[in-house]
A and B are shown apart, each in its own frame.
Chain A
C-alpha cells in the first residue's frame, strides 16, 4: 500500500514537482475559487479562463513556447477583459455577466483566430491541457510565487472582500474599499487562472478552483472552515489525481479534476447541505 502511495513520489522527481505544483494551486487558486463560488461567479471563472487564451496564444506566436511570454500575455489579456467588463458594468446599464460574456467571447474568438494563424498547433495542446507532469523549475517557481502573492493579497483584502460579497451597498456606504476589493479580487482570479493553465491547462484550471469549493460549501457553515476544507479537498484531489495518472497512465490534468469531481459527488451525497440530507426520514424535531 505504501509502495502504491509513496513510491511514485519518492522515486520520481517529476512527481514531486507535480505534487508541489498541486500544493501551490490548492493554497492559492482554491481560496480564490471559494470566493468565486460565494459571489455566484463560478461560471465567470470559466469565462475568464477563455479570456486569457488569446494573450497566451499571442505570447506563443511571438516568442514560441516561452513561459514568460505566455504568462505575461495571459495576464494582460485577462486584465484587459476584466477591466473593460468592469468599466462597462459600472458605467452602463448592462449587468456584469452580460458585459463579461461580450468581452470574453470576443477574446476567445480573437484567440482562436491567432492560433489558426500558425499551422503547428501541437504545442498549444500544452496551453489547453497543461503539463503538470512536466513542470520545470521556472514554471514551478511561477506557480509558487502566484500562490504566495494570492495568499498575501487575500489576507489583506479579506474583510473588505467578505463585506463586498455579503453586503456591497453597506461597504460602499462606509468606505472606499468596494472597488479595491472588487478589482483586486478579479486580478487574483486572473493570475490564478494563468498559474492554473501552466499546470492543468486553460480548460481545466477552473476545475481545481470551483469543484473543491462547491464540495466544501456543502459541509461548512462558516467561512474559515469552508476555506480550510476547500484547500484540503483540492490538495487531496491533486494527490489522488497524480497517483491515478501515474498508475493508470492517464493524463494528469483531467485526472486531478476528475478526482475533484469525485469529492464533489461524495459530498453531494453525504454532506449536510447535499442531496440526501433533505430526503432522509425526519428526525424528531427539537424543542426550540
Chain B
C-alpha cells in the first residue's frame, strides 16, 4: 500500500495570503506524483493563490511547501491572466519556442530537431500553419492553444494551470482537456483550477475543494458532493479588516487519495476539520 515514490508536493500547514490576510489557510496534505488534481471552490477561495505559492511566486506567510522530488525548473506555471503583451512583434513560432528555454537558455540556437519539435507542438494544439502569424492576430482560443503548445515544450514534471478554460469555446476546451489527459498519462503531476464542475467530474480523478479553509481533498466523486459544496460556499466570505490574529498551531491533515486507510483525520480539527473524504483507493494513472 505504501507508495515507493515520495509525494510530489507536501503542503505543511501552509498559509498563503496578502497583507497578513490568509487566502489559503492552514492547508496540509500531500499530492502524490502523477496526480491529476482539479482545484475547485468559489471565487476568492484561494485557488489561484495556492498555485502561485506552489509556483514560487508568493512567499508563504505560514507553513511550508516541500517538493522533494522536483528537479530545479521542474514547474511549468500558466497564470490565469498572463502578462503577455499582445502588441509585441513576435510570431507564434517564436512564442512557442520560448518553451524550450530550459534547453537553449539565453544564447543557444534552435537545432533542426528542436524546430521540428516546435512544429509538432503547434500541430498537437491544432495551430499548424500559424507559425509566422504575429501573436497579436490570434483569437482568445488560439492564444490559449499557443500557450499550451509552449507548455508542451517546457516538458515539466509538475504543471500548474490557473483557469485554462476561462472564456474558451467548447471545442477548444475539449482539445485542451485531451492534452491535459495526455500529460496525465505520461505521469506528470497536474494541478488545474477549474470552475465547470461537470468538467471536473468527467475528466479529473482527484479534486481539491478550497474555500480559504481546505474543505476536502480526494477522489472527485467524494469531494464534489452537495454537502461539501454548500459548506465551501458558506466558508467563503469577505476578509474582515480587523480580524484578530490567528493562533492555530496544530492543523487538520487532509486525507490523501492514496493514503493507507488507518488515518481518518480525526482528533486534530480546530475548527478546520476537513470533510471525511474517502481515500481508500487510488485512481489508475
Residues of A within 8 A of B (CB): 38, 156, 159-160, 162-163, 165-170, 172-175, 177, 217, 220-223, 226
The 9 closest A-B pairs by CB, nearest first: A166-B88, A174-B101, A169-B83, A167-B84, A223-B89, A159-B106, A173-B77, A160-B106, A168-B83
Q: Which residues from chain B contact A170 at a C-beta distance below 8 Å? A: 82, 98, 150
Q: Which residues from chain A contact B209 at a C-beta distance below 8 Å? A: none
Taking the closest CB of chain B, its distance from the CB of A154, in whole angstroms, is 13
Q: Which residues from chain A contact B154 at a C-beta distance below 8 Å? A: 174
On whether A165 and B85 interact (CB within 8 A), knowing A173-B75, A174-B154, the answer reads: yes
Q: Other than A38-B85, A172-B57, A221-B89, give 15 A-B pairs with Cβ distance below 8 A.
A: A156-B107, A159-B107, A160-B106, A162-B90, A163-B98, A163-B101, A166-B84, A166-B135, A167-B95, A173-B75, A173-B77, A174-B98, A174-B101, A175-B73, A175-B105
Q: Which secondary structure dominates where chain A touches chain B?
A: helix
A277 and B101 CA atoms in complex are apart in Å by 38
A203 and B102 CA atoms in complex are apart in Å by 43
Q: Which residues from chain B contact A160 at a C-beta distance below 8 Å? A: 106
Asked if B91 lies at the interface with its beta carbon under 8 angstroms from chain A, I say yes
**Residue from B88, B89, B101, B154 whose CB has the most chain A CB atoms within 10 Å:** B89
A170 and B96 CA atoms in complex are apart in Å by 12
A142 and B197 CA atoms in complex are apart in Å by 65
Q: Are B89 and A175 in contact, CB atoms less than 8 angstroms apart?
A: no
On whether A222 and B83 interact (CB within 8 A), knowing A159-B106, A175-B101, the answer reads: no
Q: Which residues from chain B contact A174 at a C-beta distance below 8 Å? A: 73, 98, 101-102, 154
Asked if B60 lies at the interface with its beta carbon under 8 angstroms from chain A, I say no
**Residue from A38, A160, A165, A169 whose CB has the most chain B CB atoms within 10 Å:** A169
CB closest residue in chain A, given B134: A221
Taking the closest CB of chain A, its distance from the CB of B78, in whole angstroms, is 9
Asked if B194 lies at the interface with its beta carbon under 8 angstroms from chain A, I say no
Binary interface encoding of chain B residues 56-99 relative to chain A, with 1 for a CB under 8 A from any of its CBs, else 0: 01000000000000000101110100111100111100010010
A174 and B82 CA atoms in complex are apart in Å by 14
Asked if B8 lies at the interface with its beta carbon under 8 angstroms from chain A, I say no
CB closest residue in chain B, given A165: B88
**Residue from B73, B76, B88, B95 whose CB has the most chain A CB atoms within 10 Å:** B88
Q: Are B90 and A177 in contact, CB atoms less than 8 angstroms apart?
A: no
Q: Which residues from chain B contact A159 at a C-beta distance below 8 Å? A: 106-107
A222 and B79 CA atoms in complex are apart in Å by 26
Q: Are B89 and A222 in contact, CB atoms less than 8 angstroms apart?
A: yes
Q: Which residues from chain A contact B90 at a C-beta distance below 8 Å? A: 162, 166, 223
